């Protein structure tokens, strides 16, 4: 898979925002985002997770994410920040279709404009961790709107585990599917999966 392909990134991110967004009390009904979803953790257990739930082990941290298995991915494709409850808050230095979303993407469940006139999105994530706090999972949901009408929906599932020898490193897998509802977004139906490695950003 040529992961640094501009066309592949463009189709991928118009519809997702990786593992999406959260903030307790956001307007999920108006933005067509569910109040809760079921996620599967790395240990095989499934839990029902409400919008805004985070992963305590990721609280107040930021990470650089790299695609694994691709020698060309020598630079991080995004930096992700988590809030005080381990909720996924934002992407910075984003290279995922930045011509559409820009270098920073906010994930708070509210509707936000994109770089494309007439297009907006609402995104949310739902996170949980294993009982021993060694692994975690997020499910992201995103709705893309064109002139207020739903243009596409997407689901992203991400799980990961912390390196037992290095708390500043984690490994995981990501799967993504999307479905467009209007013809003006060509090749928007996507079904893909890849592995990642992430390193904590430590302030010097």
Q: Which pLDDT does position 128 carry in this prediction?
A: 96
Helical segments of the chain, H only: 6-13, 98-101
Q: Report the number of distinct structural domains present in the chain.
A: 1
Q: Give dist(CA 25, CA 51) in Å, integer.
A: 9
Is residue 92 in some structural domain?
Answer: yes
Report whether pLDDT(72) > 60: no
Domain range for 174? 6-200
In 107-189, at which residue ranges do the beta strands (DSSP E only) sit? 111-113, 119-129, 135-146, 149-163, 166-180
In a domain, 188, yes or no: yes
- Asked whether residue 1 is assigned to any structural domain, the reply reads no
- Give mean pLDDT, residues 106-119: 80
Evaluated on CA atoms 92, 58, 129, 194, the torsion sign reads positive
Q: How crowded is residue 84: how many other Cβ atoms within 10 Å of its Cβ?
A: 10
Summarised one tens digit per residue, pLDDT across range 21-45 is: 322 233 344 456 788 999 999 999 9
Q: Which of 128-132, 135-139, 140-144 has the lowest mean pLDDT?
A: 140-144
Taking CA atoms, 90 is separated from 6, 80, 194, 198, in Å, by: 22, 6, 21, 15
Q: Classify residue 106: in a domain, yes or no.
A: yes
Confidence band (pLDDT; 50, 70, 90) for 124?
confident
Min mean pLDDT across 11-20, 40-49, 79-88, 180-189 is at 11-20
Q: Map residue 20 onto helix, strand or coil.
A: coil
Query: What is the pLDDT at residue 48?
Result: 95
Contact 64, 76 (CB under 8 A): yes
């Amino acid at each position: 898979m040529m992961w640094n392909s501009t066309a592949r990134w463009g189709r991928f991110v118009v519809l997702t925002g990786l593992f999406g967004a959260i903030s307790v009390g956001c307007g999920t009904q108006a933005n067509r985002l569910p109040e809760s979803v079921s996620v599967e953790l790395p240990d095989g257990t499934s839990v029902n997770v409400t919008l805004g739930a985070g992963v305590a082990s990721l609280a107040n941290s930021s990470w650089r994410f790299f695609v694994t298995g691709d020698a060309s991915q020598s630079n991080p494709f995004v930096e992700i920040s988590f809030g005080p409850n381990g909720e996924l808050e934002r992407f910075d230095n984003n290279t995922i279709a930045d011509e559409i979303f820009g270098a920073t993407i906010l994930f708070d469940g509210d509707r936000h404009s994109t770089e494309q006139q007439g297009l907006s999105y609402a995104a949310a994530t739902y996170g949980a961790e294993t009982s021993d706090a060694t692994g975690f999972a997020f499910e992201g949901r995103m709705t893309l709107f064109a002139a207020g009408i739903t243009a596409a929906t997407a689901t992203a599932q991400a799980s990961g585990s912390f390196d037992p020898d290095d708390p500043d490193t984690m490994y995981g897998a990501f799967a993504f599917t999307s479905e467009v509802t209007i013809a003006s977004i060509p090749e928007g139906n996507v079904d893909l999966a890849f592995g990642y490695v992430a390193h904590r950003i430590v302030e010097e």
